[in-house]
């Protein structure tokens, strides 16, 4: 297991979840090889990888790695210059926004919505088109667990290398549930009977037919796109294909709040638009989707609008 649980006292069983010599253990005392976030009094974060005999250096002094190793998370360490640093392991959300990048990353607020709205469950078989830098891949692997599958497709070999490095860095080695293929989803897809498909690519509408063939009835496709024109095109492609129920399109905005005594207000900055999400369920083979009975907005259908326009 990529995030194993340390064995309890007297437990000598050898299982993937109890192999402390392999993978990242995200709890317990700090160990050599762990990533640690050191936060100074101004909230500035520096991430280090613990190595025996090494030091963390800054203009505010140094801290011995050996001082941190063996300590618990949430401990405060004082540098040689007198500055105090609070030490925690980075959360996945922290790692995702600070990881080395090739392609732009899917931000945690969107990754969380993908996991929730696409109902990525333990043991699920998930196809990911567009591994990018591996941020979303890490969230998907966390969700499916050691008994699931995330099969990622990435067209660019350089992006695939970056994604592989980031995934292995976060999980402490190769994840047993991950398969990475260099190639396009349309040409290289081999999996069938999958539960979920997540599309993070420039033209997701080009893959709708391949996605329909791979998904089980009741399965779900989720597309992450950046622009309204992309969103419109993928929604209309899903509607017109005939194998999917009515698509659902939305976006998520995240705003933090300043809370200090009686001064309670929204922060001046927020994480606004990053992308749109579109989800749709796979129908059973041979089923015709019900006809929508919703009155279209004016101008929604250009031809109808033209027919109803007054003559000049």
Per-residue pLDDT at 306: 52
| Residue ranges in the chain whose pLDDT is less than 70 | 1-24, 296-297, 300-312
Residue 203, annotated as binding a ligand: no
Per-residue pLDDT at 5: 44
Residue 136, annotated as binding a ligand: yes
Residue 221: both structure tokens together: 């496709």
Per-residue pLDDT at 22: 41
Q: How far apart are CA 1 and CA 12, in angstroms?
A: 16
Instruction: Spell 44-71 as b/e; 16+ CB within 10 A means b.
Output: eeeebebeeeeebeeeeeebebeebbee
Per-residue pLDDT at 15: 32
Order of strands across the sheet that contains 248-250 = 178-182, 149-154, 125-129, 194-199, 215-225, 276-281, 248-250
Residue 200: both structure tokens together: 């993070």
Per-residue pLDDT at 312: 46
Residue 91, annotated as binding a ligand: no
Residue 94, annotated as binding a ligand: no
Domains and their CATH numbers in the chain? 27-88 (3.10.330.20), 94-281 (3.40.50.150)
Per-residue pLDDT at 310: 52
Residue 154, annotated as binding a ligand: yes
Going from the C-alpha of 63 to that of each of 13, 50, 146, the distances in angstroms are: 38, 11, 36
Residue 238, annotated as binding a ligand: no
């Amino acid at each position: 297991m990529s995030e194993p649980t340390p064995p309890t006292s007297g437990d000598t069983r050898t299982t993937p979840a109890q192999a402390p010599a392999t993978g990242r253990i995200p709890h317990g005392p700090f160990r050599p090889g762990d990533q640690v976030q050191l936060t100074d009094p101004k909230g500035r974060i520096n991430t280090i990888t613990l190595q025996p005999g090494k030091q963390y250096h800054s203009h505010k002094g140094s801290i011995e790695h050996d001082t941190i190793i063996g300590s618990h998370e949430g401990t405060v360490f004082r540098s040689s210059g007198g500055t105090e640093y609070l030490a925690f392991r980075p959360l996945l959300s922290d790692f995702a926004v600070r990881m080395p990048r090739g392609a732009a990353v899917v931000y945690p607020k969107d990754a969380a919505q993908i996991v929730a709205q696409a109902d990525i469950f333990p043991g699920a078989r998930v196809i990911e088109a567009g591994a990018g830098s591996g941020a979303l891949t890490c969230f998907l692997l966390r969700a499916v667990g050691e008994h699931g599958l995330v099969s990622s497709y990435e067209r660019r070999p350089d992006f695939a290398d970056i994604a592989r490095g980031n995934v292995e860095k976060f999980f402490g080695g190769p994840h047993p549930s991950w398969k990475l293929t260099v190639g396009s989803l349309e040409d290289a897809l081999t999996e069938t009977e999958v539960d979920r498909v997540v599309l993070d690519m420039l033209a997701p509408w080009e893959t709708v037919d391949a996605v329909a063939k791979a998904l089980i009835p009741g399965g779900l496709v989720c597309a992450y796109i950046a622009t309204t024109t992309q969103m419109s095109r993928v929604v209309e492609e899903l509607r017109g294909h005939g194998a999917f129920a009515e698509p659902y399109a939305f976006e998520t905005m995240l705003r933090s709040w300043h809370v200090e005594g009686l001064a309670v207000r929204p922060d001046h900055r927020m994480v606004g638009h990053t992308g749109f999400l579109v989800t749709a369920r796979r129908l059973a083979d041979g089923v015709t989707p019900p006809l929508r009975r919703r009155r279209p907005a004016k101008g929604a259908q250009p031809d109808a609008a033209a027919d109803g326009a007054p003559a000049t």
